Amino acid sequence: MRMICIVSVAIAALTLGSGEPTVAEPRTLYKPENLAIAHENIQKHAWARNLLEGYKRRVAFAMKQDRQFFEEIVPDLTPWVGYGQVCPRCVGEKCSMGETGVFRWSIEHPDQLVCKYCGAVYPDPEYPETGSMTAPKMGQTFTFYLTEEERAHPEDTSGKYAYRWASWPIHVSFSGQIRLRKASWAASQVLPMAKVYALTGEVKYAEHCAWILDRIARAYPGWLYHSYNGTYADVPPGEAAAEMGRHPRAGKFPMDAIITAFPHLRDTNKDGFGELNVGFWGAGRLTAGVGGEGGFLLNCTVAYDLIRDAKYEDGTRVLTEEMEQHIVNDLILAGCADLENYPDINNKCGPGRALSGAVGILFDRPAGVRRALDGFSTLLERSFHFDGFCKESPSYSNMHLGLMRNIPDILLGYSDPKGYEPDEGPALSDLNPYQDLQRYRLALLSMVKMLGPDLKYPVIGDTHSGAGISAIYAEILADHYGQQYAGLLESVQNAPLAEQGSEYALWHRPPGLRAEAAHDLPLRSEYFPGWQVAVLRNGHPRGRNAFYFNGYAMHGHRHYDTLGIIYFALGKEMASDRGYIWDDPRNAWTKGTYSHNLVTVDGKSQVSKDRHSTLELFAIGPEVEVIQASANAYEQCSQYRRTCALVQLPNDNSYAVDFFRVTGGDLHHYCFNSNGDEFELHGLDLQPQDGKISWMENLRVAQPAETWRATWRNEGVNIDLWMPTDIDRLIVTDAPGWRSYKGDQLHAPPITEILAERAGEALSSAFAAVMSPYQGNQPPIASVQQVAGEPDDGTALAVVVEMQGRTDYIMSALDDEPHRYGPVELTGRFGFASLDAHGNLARAYLLEGTRLACGAKSIEFEEARIVREVAGIEGRTIKLVQPLPPDAELAGVWFLAGGTGYEIESAAGKTITVREYPVQPCEEVVIPRSCWISEVN
């Protein structure tokens, strides 16, 4: 294999460095070993050669330009913000108010923007930029378009007549957007150019990269800090960053230092100072926010690292001393100093922490390395549960992992300079974040384990509809955690490793990595003990069904859906969720409890403060899967509890049973919605109803006297909702069908939602429902009845599901007393009994009980549960004070501990080992007794 020699040369110490000479060898994101891997992959694999050619295609236009082109394309005037820049010609008709990404821009036509919806081209004399604001101290003036209403009311600067983004008025600036696009395009060229140079040695790529870096570095000191609501700080940008660090989160500026077209957006505090909107969270010199700014600066730093040794044929360095001083001092170190004023740990902090690590390594500043390492470890600790799932949502997990991804690669193999003595802790030697922080491995796995049958993320909480699987997580696992993940990677990317690879694979995948055996996606019915979300997969992990039960309460974000459900059935999302509409007024609907499949109390959304759930049951039987949890979702409710069971049917079908008990409040609405454009309510006459309920329209009302059934149809799949519960009235509504804030969803047709209503003072409700998906015209379920347990004290209830050749009893109780449900006796918290056409018991399941009997057949235990005191915990192992029963078969059983649940991998004597996840502190374990019997061959 031919290797391109990397020449080591010494350069003069730089102004803000450590004083030691800097050795020009790649040391940051890509190191000599990464170059060796990439070269060998290119030699062996067509996919790797295609990636190299892709780098060249990406910079082909720039490579045809001379240096003067870049001098002109990179603006001296600070760019405008990117958020809320809508098309005045079609806003509200084709593009959404506040939408981002409306305009197309290309380097071939750098001085114009084109609306992707209506094709309007800007600048346009019909939409002149007659508005302006000036930062006098820094000598910069910004122009923007004023709406017709703003021009008609020049005295009103409140923003009443302006366009809006999130909660703020916003101005569209075509010239400012063009500046932003030009600068961003130039910045996007430097890293692929540097990579081509590093992989080929073609010095022309290093030369062009150096030109762009130098030009950006000379413009960067003049780019003002500005926030994504259009406010600018009229002070030198380094001072603005320092001020936001001194007084988080947005600084205390003189009032006239915050420049805005809307004076109230100065965000004055009680001390009379001006604030820069939300500070680093939404502010940068080039980009809006610390995440984007950190990523831009990191790319420039890595590009510089790759080309700083480059020489022309005559031995002259590509980077002159003056160019290098600009790039290092005015761009890399100045930008890093800015962002090191930001101490917060959140989903945007990753790139800034990575930048500190890269700069620390490149310029021998160990404190920067520690800032990166601390950021990475603290981010994992604070933002991810112990099971690896993000504390926000699947979409935000994707954001967290994407923005932190460079940190472990930058730090891998790092050792402190010889003789360095840190202020705290030991010196770092041959650092390996992959092995030192096991939560990272679980976080990577979580992105695969949650997937639905469509290989998309469940739209739980703030998750964008349609967000799906990325091979990068399996790639990192395979490249850094061992060959056992190679088969998983092949499964995720749906191609052999020799035939397909990503950019990450080019630099990190061992060229000879092979999958020793097929490895399916790690999908299974499971309760995630930290995230507190369950997924029931109907016995077929890669089948067409997945029932999600959301026990997690979103903290810091927007959805009120604790105990909500999503039901994928026969490959379609049938019990649906709208997902995340981002910072858009329509989010007022999608975040609320009414938009989810839940019980809404008193017409209000669930409480936001300290809301949480408590797992009470979780079990996976051969043909039935069960979860039960309660939540403190409403202050007026003493009970808010949901019990769900997924029952297997032939041909990879299923049905779901839902018991929802609510005590408290005066108005209960059991809400259910489904995707699809056809709805039928069987045997009931709907009458129009005046009024509107929380975004819902076209209200129609019926008053069922007995069990009722509604059917939704969605692309060849039907779902019946059966409800045998006594209700006061059934409301059928048109609910918003949006699944995105994008303009293509602006006029999305409504979906049909039902509200089963019960009203009364100090109300107590026990809703029972059955959800039955199917294809074709013949429903698998013929009838559903509700049966109260005897004695009928409200603690026990059941549904009876009639199908051809079988009758199923699904029973739920809140006590340990015996109850009779028709021919079935149950002493336990959950029971399932399936009778054949002759009334004989064919299948049965008892969970956390002592007896289930029908006719001459029964399941019996001496105790409903095994309770043991915990003596100690180490990783996945629990030591008990007393031994377990010697005859108990506990492998695969889920137990409760510390308010959550774990699956037993093995158990004997005084020891329990749980599957996969570290056990959290707890005082006792509660192991439910369970048994399945079947007379069916």
Q: Tokens in use for 200?
A: 């080929």
Residue 800 has pLDDT above 50, yes or no: yes
- Confirm if 870 and 897 have CB atoms less than 8 A apart: yes
Q: What does the alpha-carbon distance between residue 499 and residue 490 come to, in Å, rounded to a whole number?
A: 10
Residue 779 neighbours by CB distance under 10 Å: 17
- 265 to each of 149, 210, 227, 585, how far by Cα in Å? 20, 39, 11, 19
Cα separation, 563 vs 588, in Å, equals 19
Collapsed DSSP state (helix, strand, coil) of residue 615 = strand
Interval 468-516: pLDDT, tens? 888 999 999 999 998 889 999 999 999 999 999 999 999 999 999 999 8
Evaluate whether 30 touches 198 at the Cβ level (below 8 Å).
yes
Candidates 51, 55, 40; CA nearest to 502 is 51
792/770 Cα distance (integer angstroms): 21
pLDDT of residue 24: 56
Cα–Cα distance measured from residue 628 to residue 647, given in angstroms and rounded to the nearest whole number: 15
User: CB 888: neighbour CB atoms within 10 A?
Assistant: 15
Q: Is residue 400 a contact partner of residue 390, using CB atoms and an 8 Å limit? A: yes
Question: So what's the pLDDT on residue 920?
Answer: 97
Instruction: Say whether 715 sits in a helix, a strand or coil.
Output: coil
Q: What share of the chain is helix, strand, coil (3-state, %, to 5)?
A: 25, 30, 45
Q: What is the phi-psi region of residue 666: left when phi exceeds 0, alpha when psi lies from -120 to 50, beta otherwise?
A: alpha
Tokens 């029971």 correspond to: 831
Helix (H, G, I), strand (E, B) or coil at 367: helix
pLDDT tens by residue, 695-711: 999 999 999 999 999 99
Considering only CA atoms, give the Rg of the chain: 31
The pLDDT-based confidence of 266 (bands split at 50, 70, 90) is confident
Give tens-digit pLDDT for 268-307: 776 889 999 999 999 999 998 999 999 999 999 999 999 9
Who's near 435: CB < 8 A, 6+ residues apart?
none
Would you say residue 340 has pLDDT above 80? Answer: yes
CB 638 within 8 A of CB 664: yes
Amino acid at site 199: L
pLDDT grade for 380, boundaries at 50, 70 and 90: very high
Structure tokens at 239: 């001072």
Of 932, 935, 931, 788, the C-alpha closest to 863 is: 931
Q: Count CB atoms within 10 A of the CB of residue 481.
A: 16
**Token reading at 719:** 């779902």
Q: What is the mean pLDDT of residues 419-444?
A: 93
For the purposes of burial, counting CB atoms within 10 Å of the CB of 342, is it exposed (0-12), middle (13-18) or buried (19 or more)? Answer: buried
Q: Is 22 a residue whose pLDDT tops 60? A: no
DSSP-based three-state secondary structure for 364: coil
Mean pLDDT value of segment 6-25:
38
| Mean pLDDT of all residues in 544-572 | 89
- Residue 655 pairs with which residues in a beta bridge? 647
Distances (CA, A) of 29 to 5, 137, 411, 558: 18, 38, 8, 35
Let me know: does 834 contact 810? Beta carbons within 8 Å: no
Q: Residue 872, exposed/middle/buried by CB under 10 A (0-12, 13-18, 19+)?
A: exposed
Neighbouring CB atoms inside 10 A of 41's CB total: 24
- Do the strands 764-774 and 653-663 form a parallel or antiparallel pair, or are they unpaired? antiparallel
What phi, psi does 925 have (nearest 5°)?
-120, 145
For residue 3, what are its two tokens?
């290797």
**pLDDT single digits (tens) 150-194:** 999 999 999 999 999 988 999 999 999 999 999 999 999 999 999
Q: Quote the pLDDT of residue 935.
A: 81
Residue 537 has pLDDT above 60, yes or no: yes
CA 212 remoteness from chain centre: 34
Please state whether the peptide bond connecting residue 123 to the residue before it is cis, i.e. omega within 30 degrees of 0.
Answer: yes
| pLDDT value for 556 | 55
Between the CA of residue 842 and those of 645, 808, 835, 902, 931, what are the distances in Å?
A: 18, 10, 5, 30, 14
- Choose among 439, 525, 513: nearest CA to 483: 513
Count of CA atoms in the C-beta half-sphere (13 A) of 485? 19
Confidence of residue 913 (pLDDT cuts 50, 70, 90): very high
Reading the block at residue 897, the tokens are 């501990």
What single letter denotes the amino acid at residue 856? A
Lowest average pLDDT, out of 80-84, 439-443, 480-484, 554-558, goes to 554-558
Residues ≥6 apart with Cβ < 8 Å to 512:
none
My answer on whether omega of the bond before 249 falls inside 30° of 0, hence cis, is: yes
> Measured between alpha carbons, how far is 548 from 563 in angstroms, rounded to an integer?
10
Mean pLDDT along residues 576-588: 86
436 is written with which tokens? Answer: 């030192």
What band does 542 get if pLDDT is binned at 50, 70 and 90?
A: confident
Residues 6+ apart with CB under 8 A from 301: 28, 332, 336, 355, 358, 359, 362
Task: Identify the DSSP state of 328.
Answer: I
Phi, psi dihedrals of residue 292, rounded to the nearest 5°:
-70, -40
Helices (H) and strands (E) in the chain, counts: 21, 46
Q: In the structure encoding, which two tokens stand for residue 752, read together? A: 């049909």
pLDDT band at residue 555 using 50, 70 and 90 as cut-offs: low
Percent of the chain's residues with pLDDT above 90: 87
* C-alpha torsion angle, residues 902, 903, 905, 909 (rounded to 10): 70
In 864-916, which ranges are E strands? 865-874, 877-880, 894-897, 900-908, 911-914
Predicted local distance difference test score (pLDDT) of residue 516: 84
Q: Going along 729-780, which residue ranges are E strands?
A: 729-735, 751-759, 764-774
Q: What is the mean pLDDT of the chain?
A: 93
**Tokens 């500046």 — which residue?**
179
* 327/322 Cα distance (integer angstroms): 9
Overall average pLDDT of the 411-426 stretch: 93
pLDDT at residue 2 greater than cutoff 80: no
pLDDT band at 23 (very low <50, low <70, confident <90, very high): very low
Length reported for the chain: 937
